[in-house]
Amino acid sequence: MTGTDLRPIVLLLGPPGAGKGTQARFLRDTLAIPHLASGDLLRDHRRLGTPLGIEAQTYMDRGDLVADQLVIDMVMERLGRPDARRGALLDGMPRTRAQAEIVDGMLADRNSAVRAALYLDVPTEILVERIAGRWLCPSCQATYPGRSSTPPGNGTCTECRDQLYQRPDDRPDVVQHRIEVYLSSTVPVIEHYARRGLLVRIDGDRSISTVRMSLVISIGGVVIGRRRARWHLFVNHDFRAVSGDAPWHGRTLCGHLVNSHTDPGLGSEDDFRSHPCHECHVAIRARPGGISHTGPRTR
Ligand code: AMP
């Protein structure tokens, strides 16, 4: 089995309120792979009243973790569906070292592997503040900042028009506990992927588009254009972080195919900031349809 045979799995790690949901929708569209959030899957089970949903309910309402094997079986079943054939973005999972070890083993059995673990790092006091005021769309899971008692705008999602709601486990007393549970159980997960050289730590306490830029760089890089000295953001075809010496290939956010044989060089985040391709820059804001949906373009 070679690296390119593998179905890549990208992990999005970070405490509640770190912005995983917001960034996950962007990564899902950019990479054209499904976004599988263990919390959303559990909430679906609760809504449907399945045995798993009923069992998970008490743990979730307290802000405690649901039993490892229940969550793993649920996520692995979801990963087995056809839309996850090209890979998937896992959000909120694994949450414990035991989950990480079991998931790694099960992925290997399915000709798959974790390619990158992206950790959104945000100070606890900012997390509590963000969550206390957040409202969610029940359909697309978009989050809207507001005040804890009043929904933002007219109280509906700007995309789906559904009535926004607040999660019951976003209450301040439960939130503090959820963050503590997350940090104590997930630090070993972060260490686990750091030891394997897969962890990318991203400062999540910055604007949404700046965090997006760092995320793209972590799964691709910054490459200088051939004709014009503009720096493009690109996503590696197999979603691996690009190292300086290894050959790399992928697609820029503005839709060009790039690789290390034909393009002059890789730059840094600062290079992109100082002289960005305008279209790549625009694409790090919300974008309907991913770069993989655009047909191949060559320069
Ligand atoms: P989240 O939407 O990620 O904040 O998750 C909401 C709740 O679902 C958590 O507080 C846990 O009770 C449960 N949960 C989500 N993912 C997991 C997981 N990987 N392992 C155990 N419990 C989880």
Is 201 in the same domain as 64? yes
Is residue 249 in some structural domain?
Answer: yes
User: Does the annotation count 20 as an active-site position?
Assistant: yes
Do 259 and 289 share a structural domain? yes
pLDDT for position 93? 94
With respect to residue 157, please indicate whether it lies within any of the assigned structural domains: yes
Q: Which pLDDT value is given to residue 226? A: 66
Pocket test for ligand 1, best of 47, 52, 60 (most atoms within 8 A of CB): 60
- Asked if 25 is an active-site residue, the reply is no
Clarify whether residues 117 and 20 are in a common domain: yes
SS3 content of the chain, % helix, strand, coil (to 5): 45, 20, 35
Sign of CA dihedral 234, 238, 243, 244: negative
The confidence score (pLDDT) of residue 227 equals 67
Q: Which domain holds residue 153?
A: 134-169
Q: Roughly what angle, to the nearest 10 degrees, separates helices 38-48 and 68-79?
A: 100
Per-residue pLDDT of the chain (299 residues; tens, 9 = 90+): 344 446 889 999 999 999 998 899 899 988 989 999 999 999 999 999 999 999 999 999 999 999 999 999 999 999 999 999 889 999 999 999 999 999 999 999 988 999 999 999 999 989 988 888 888 888 887 888 877 778 888 889 888 889 998 888 888 788 888 999 999 998 999 999 999 999 999 999 999 999 999 999 999 999 998 667 899 999 998 887 777 677 889 999 998 999 988 888 899 999 999 999 999 999 887 544 444 333 333 33
Counted residue by residue, the chain has a size of: 299
Residue 63 is part of a domain; what is its CATH number? 3.40.50.300
Domains held by the chain: number:
3
Nearest residue (by CA) to ligand 1, atom 12, is: 60
Same domain for 287 and 201, yes or no, is no
- Residue 210 counted as domain residue: no
Q: Which of 7, 95, 212, 251 is catalytic?
A: 95
Would you say 12 and 120 are in contact if contact means Cβ atoms under 8 Å apart?
Answer: yes
Out of 7, 25, 134, 230, the active site residue is 134
95 a catalytic residue:
yes
* Whether residues 55 and 193 fall in one domain: yes
Q: Ligand 1 pocket check: which of 57, 65, 97, 131 to mutate, most ligand atoms within 8 Å of Cβ?
A: 65
For this structure, is 110 an active site residue?
no
Q: Is 167 a catalytic residue?
A: yes
44 alpha carbon – ligand 1 mean position (Å): 12
Single out the catalytic residue among 43, 115, 130, 178.
178
pLDDT score for 42:
97
3-state secondary structure of 275: coil
- Of ligand 1's listed atoms, the one at least distance from the Cα of 94 is 19
Is residue 143 in some structural domain?
yes
